[in-house]
Amino acid sequence: MKQNESSVTSLISAFGRAYHSKYDRPKIFDDFIAQDLISQKEFSDIKDHMIQGIQFFSKGIAQRFQDDPEEILKWITQVQLSPTPLARAAYCEKALLNEVMLGARQYVILGAGMDTFCFRHPELENSLDIFEIDHPASQECKINRLKATDFSIPSHLHFVPMDFTDTFSFKQLQEHGFGCKKTFFSLLGVSYYVAKEDIARLINHLFAQVPAGSSIVFDYADEKLFEEKGMSDRVEHMVQMASASGEPMKSCFTYDEIENMLEASGLLIYEHLSPSAIHDLFFRNRTDYLSAFETIHYIHAVKK
């Protein structure tokens, strides 16, 4: 991963969260800090780029709203960009806060990008150590942005530069203060891009040195990923864009495959949300374009 590629991926994700916080009602996930990590020029550039790309997503929408660029932007963000990142973040953080009440003392974010959890929950400073793991280039980009803002990095936030999809190292975590305590892991937006055997190996490594009751939330694509077109062909577009960017989607799973993979690492599925369950939980009765993404599932699994 090149430095510019990692920062662009993080920026687009932060843009989606910032747009939702500013414009969408009701809010699925309110990341009210995301906009502070993006400059006005970057926000404007991403916005313009998306509007100009509407022909790829939908010629019909391009024609229908040709004189209304703001509606085009709303359609792209709500249909293509935001549904999965918003809902999975909301689900993950709800599970995390519940686990903190049950005794979790460490939170490890794999692929943290421009995550802002630490700054949105200052009340956890004395009860939860947060470890952000990400590619060194992406992490450097974030740290530089934080330094340029009014946010100071608190003592319980630990940055661990690591290409964890290649080689996961507990030693690096331990060097930043990680201990044998009940831990919550999040692995969001990663499983699609990594070979199945590498995901299984990573989860096995993660839970080898943490106590029972530690848990993980992650999302995965089901076996229809490469067949399903989705609403406005958005699933097909997602797969095409990933391939064009040089980071093709590699893995999709049946539920049984997920269950067997977790069982091999000593984990039990505490909760599984299918696309229809995700829609009912986060998107039901909305009057805008937002809806649960087809083929995408969420899992909360706990070590026995």
Read off φ and ψ for residue 230, nearest 5 degrees.
80, 170
Residue 6 predicted with pLDDT over 80: no
Quick: pLDDT tens for 124-162: 999 999 999 999 988 999 999 999 998 999 999 999 999
Residue 278 predicted with pLDDT over 50: yes
Edge-to-edge strands, sheet with 267-273: 157-161, 129-134, 106-110, 183-187, 215-221, 296-303, 267-273
Structure tokens at 141: 């980009």
**Could you tell me the sign of the dihedral formed by the alpha carbons of 203, 206, 211, 213, in that order?**
negative
What residues have CB less than 8 Å from 293, skipping those under 6 apart?
A: 83, 84, 230, 234, 235, 275, 278
CB 270 within 8 A of CB 212: no
Structure tokens at 83: 């549904």
Question: Using 50, 70 and 90 to split pLDDT, how confident is the model at 3?
Answer: very low
Residue 1 predicted with pLDDT over 80: no
> What CA–CA distances, in Å, run from 47 to 18, 84, 145?
12, 19, 20
Task: Calculate mean pLDDT across residues 169-197.
Answer: 96
CB 132 within 8 A of CB 139: yes
Residue 84 predicted with pLDDT over 90: yes
> What CA–CA distances, in Å, run from 139 to 63, 107, 113, 158?
40, 17, 7, 11
CB 158 within 8 A of CB 130: yes
Work out the mean pLDDT of the chain and round it to a whole number. 95
Quick: pLDDT tens for 222-248: 999 999 999 999 999 999 999 998 889
- Closest C-alpha among 213, 210, 209, 168 to residue 187: 168
Q: 84-303 domain in CATH 3.40.50.150?
A: yes
Domain residue ranges of the chain, discontinuous segments joined by +: 3-81, 84-303
**What residue type is 162 in one-letter code?**
M
